Structure 1
Amino acid sequence: MRVFKFGGASLKNANAIINMVSIVCSNKNEHPLIVVVSAMGKTTNALEIILQNALNGKDYMQDLNKLKNYHLETASDLENNDSSNITNLVNNLFQSFEIKLKELVNQYNGSVESYQFSYDQIVSYGELLSSNIVSEYMNLTGIKNSWLDAREIIVTDSTYTEGKVNWKKTNDRVKKQITKFNGIKITQGFIGADPYNNTTTLGREGSDFTGAIFANCLNAESLTIWKDVPGILNADPKIFHDAQLYDYLSYREAAEMTYYGASVIHPKTIKPLANKKIPLNVRSFERPGETGTLIGNEKSHKVFPAFITKNNQALVSFKVKDFSFIDENNLTTIFHTITNLNIKLNLMQNSATSFSICIDYKEYQVNRLIEQLSSEFKILFNKKLQLITVKNYTEESIERFKEEKILLEQRSRNNYRIVVGEDITF
């Protein structure tokens, strides 16, 4: 049994879906196959905008109709006048979507918790749409498959937008519902459900993690993630012109790269695979004949420096108002608030009189953080920043940053990290 995961770029239009299905067909052989799909193209971004406008009382119908037409055009191109089944599925899902959106707007109370709950109920429609379209297209072309609702398998707690997986219950459901099957199952990445059957999401870009969950619970032969890059590169080629491909990485090396922000794989993906020594392949859907990058249990070969960037960062610095030192009590107060707001720290650094953190910029979280701590600390705040990590750095590899305006710099035995303004290219 194997697990494939396809991202939004591999499903962005009818031609992309046809290519994706051809990859599935050429790899299915005699092995049962779970196919995990993301939302099509930039659908998740569009759904976020629609939700924000709806909750803020702004017009959202133009964006909603644009998104609906995008899916309907894809459906029409796939049907090729032979059927209207895909179109009917899309229309029905958007009808359900509009009803749910209006219901959530009426229930919305302006709190962070209310927004996060609404987010998961709405944004999940992206994966429901794409998985239904793919499954029905395969049926239409004579490729037997069954559609699987991931929300009936993956059980999480009620931490909306960052659902934490209940592994025991998820394993139990896998054993009851899908351990034994032949052929192909199409399911959704990114989503699950809490014990009250409310939809939850696993964190932005969490479809890779979904693939790892299924692979772990099914003791799969392998997980393959199909991307629009040739494999795992040591840098984003859009930013670094001299990016190189890794042919092999160990679980540990790959996990550390994802922790620091490497975007090819979701950070939670490696652990469920490493625990059962399940290989992870990262391959190109544009060049499916190439081997890409293999991630496994053996020690990495010689690893050249990796340049990892995280955009949309905020730098927040806390200073005690009475000019005393930052001590353990101050740090306890700060960390307690950070934990309660479910904020992930990407970097932290302290001096005698200040403590600084670099975090993903989410306006509602940053506003709450400043609001709750401003009575005790003087707080300095910058946004629209970029966090760059050079893993396994050499002096030569960090020379390229010497002309940048660096807001924060950190150097350890293996890693060099800086916070700078966005939109720099090397």
Structure 2
Amino acid sequence: MQNCARIVLNNKATRIAVVSASAGVTNHLVTLAHTAMTQEQIKDICSAIKAIEMAIVNQLNEPELVQDKLDDLLDEMAGLAHHEEILHRDDLKDQLLSMGERISSLLFSAVINEMGNQAINFDVRKVLRTDSEFGAASPEPETIAALSTALLMPEANNAIVVTQGFVGADEHGKTTTLGRGGSDFTAALLAEALHAQVCEIWTDVAGVYTTDPRIAPNAHPLPELSFEEAAEMATFGAKVLHPATMEPALRGNVKVFVGSSKAPGQGGTWIMRDCEDEPPYRAITRRKEQVMVTVKTPKMMYAQGFLQQVFAIIAKHRLSVDLVTTSEISVSFTLDNPANSVAQRLNKETIAELETLCDVKVEHGFDLVTVVGNHMQSAKGVSSKIFAAVADYNLRMICFGANPHNMSFLVNEKNSTPIVQHLHKALFE
């Protein structure tokens, strides 16, 4: 937190800091929100969260200044965790999941104040208006802009505003969340709303890498990315960026910087509308926990409207489909399926409805590997080099040609690590 505070204070142009939950807290909260437990087990997890937060508070010079407010938040959290309907009500889950960020913003504003600068802890729910899709709420940019101009801008003129990522509120004032990793998204939405020039994302790595360095040790940070490349990388699994972050940045033409709060001097990656260099291969991403759904009906042959019916059901359940392949009588597509997610719940409902229309086959155990780059459709030799690198592996689905920025494969989860390593060696080393 002190590292981050120094980064904020070293740049006088920084007016708003959006914070995530402390490490480990969100995982504990997800467990509380989704797992049936005894009262004693719930109490133990609440105590573990309190210990994480108190380790920070105890290092403040004047912990008593925040202790009462922290106790109130911890009491609210415990009350929600013990609520008899927590496992069955998505609105209560979102209230509980918001607690990590709400506690972080209280503590981070105290850290900045102790460094001799004025900071205020601002409740983002006053301005970040969303719909009521708890767990994966969609923001309403026009309302956010109007509320931010009226309520947030005056505060930012007088002090550094510390607020919460990931959290919003619907029109009835009920707490909503934007999905895991949503703090970047919040920052980009507020940057767009306030016509900011730059949105800086300070994380645990020095920029966006050619691939995950834990998979390929020779991966290296990228000095620049276009919005389109970054959006593809985020969508297809680059953990450094939230998939939706690029939308408000692109709409508002807000430059995005990604750097490491542990090593701010190392530089990072700039994401902008136009890059000086547009190579055919920019990066490789992996997204785990994919489900392959194949719908099949003899009626599809020469029939009109079957695809429309299939995708109308998917749209109704608000699912995002990445890869699609079709044959004469069947369609295969991929769905994200992380455990305890909104997607997992919707997948079950969607598949049940599809089964009233046609035969449905559901296969698990896949990862999605994507090569991101530029002019991939039109540059000679681009696809052959990729296929040569993965020649020894079975590819279940291939998606290429729909846009110039990516080629994606669905692969068996046990093969995805060596596939990424082979691709990285062939394309970047």
**TM-score class, shorter:** 0.7 to 0.9
Q: Any conservation in 1 of the 2:224–2:275 contact (CA below 8 Å)?
A: no
Stretches of 4+ moved more than 6 A in 1? 55-58
Query: Structure 1: how far apart are the matches of 2:212 and 2:358?
Result: 37
Query: Structure 1: how far apart are the matches of 2:40 and 2:63?
Result: 37
Mapped pair 1:26 → 2:3: no
Query: Structure 2: how far apart are the matches of 1:397 and 1:178?
Result: 48
- Report the equivalent of 1:335: 311
Query: Structure 1: how far apart are the matches of 2:311 and 2:165?
Result: 31
Q: Any conservation in 2 of the 1:135–1:146 contact (CA below 8 Å)?
A: yes
Letter in 2 for 1:39: A
Query: How large is the RMSD of aligned CA atoms in angstroms?
Result: 2.5
- Report the equivalent of 1:9: none
Query: Structure 2: how far apart are the matches of 1:214 and 1:324?
Result: 46
**Which of 295, 304, 315 is the matching residue for 1:318?**
295
- Report the equivalent of 1:263: 239
1:231: how far off? 1.0
Q: How does 1:13-412 map to 2 (within 5 A)?
A: 17-27=1-11, 29=12, 31=13, 33-54=15-36, 59-76=41-58, 78-79=59-60, 82-103=62-83, 105-106=84-85, 110=88, 114=89, 116-180=90-154, 181-303=157-279, 304-320=281-297, 322=298, 324-325=300-301, 327-361=303-337, 362-392=343-373, 394=382, 395-412=384-401
Match of 2:385, SS?
A: helix
Query: Structure 2: how far apart are the matches of 1:197 and 1:316?
Result: 37
Report the TM-score, using the length of structure 2 for normalisation: 0.85
1:328: how far off? 4.3
Match of 1:263, SS?
A: coil
Match of 1:79, SS?
A: coil
1:107: how far off? 7.3
1:406: how far off? 2.3
Q: Any conservation in 1 of the 2:202–2:261 contact (CA below 8 Å)?
A: yes
**Deviations 1:245-285, CA, capped at 9 Å, x for gaps:** 22122223323333333332222222322233221111121
Q: 1:46 to 1:405 in 2, by over 3 A?
A: farther
Bigger drift between 204-213 and 370-379 goes to: 370-379
Q: Any conservation in 2 of the 1:38–1:188 contact (CA below 8 Å)?
A: yes
Q: 1:251 to 1:106 in 2, by over 3 A?
A: closer
Q: Which runs of 5 or more residues in structure 2 are unaligned? A: 338-342, 377-381, 422-429
Query: Structure 1: how far apart are the matches of 2:394 and 2:207?
Result: 32
1:59: how far off? 4.5
Mapped pair 1:421 → 2:412: yes
Query: Structure 2: how far apart are the matches of 1:305 and 1:169?
Result: 36
Letter in 2 for 1:325: M
Count of residue correspondences: 399
Q: Any conservation in 2 of the 1:72–1:87 contact (CA below 8 Å)?
A: no
Identity across the alignment (%): 26
Q: 1:312 to 1:145 in 2, by over 3 A?
A: same
Bigger drift between 53-62 and 372-381 goes to: 53-62
Query: Structure 1: how far apart are the matches of 2:115 and 2:60?
Result: 9
Q: Any conservation in 2 of the 1:313–1:387 contact (CA below 8 Å)?
A: yes
Query: Structure 1: how far apart are the matches of 2:400 and 2:86?
Result: 48
Letter in 1 for 2:410: V
Letter in 1 for 2:318: N
Q: Any conservation in 2 of the 1:317–1:356 contact (CA below 8 Å)?
A: yes
Letter in 2 for 1:100: L
Q: 1:327 to 1:244 in 2, by over 3 A?
A: farther
Q: 1:157 to 1:250 in 2, by over 3 A?
A: same
**Deviations 1:181-206, CA, capped at 9 Å, x for gaps:** 13311000111111100011122211
Query: Structure 2: how far apart are the matches of 1:120 and 1:176?
Result: 26
Bigger drift between 163-172 and 127-136 goes to: 163-172
Q: Any conservation in 1 of the 2:86–2:92 contact (CA below 8 Å)?
A: no
Q: Any conservation in 2 of the 1:251–1:270 contact (CA below 8 Å)?
A: yes
Letter in 2 for 1:133: L
Letter in 2 for 1:90: L
1:324: how far off? 4.9
Q: Which runs of 5 or more residues in structure 1 are unaligned? A: 1-16
Match of 1:407, SS?
A: strand
Query: Structure 1: how far apart are the matches of 2:265 and 2:303?
Result: 56
Query: Structure 2: how far apart are the matches of 1:401 and 1:56?
Result: 48
1:343: how far off? 1.2
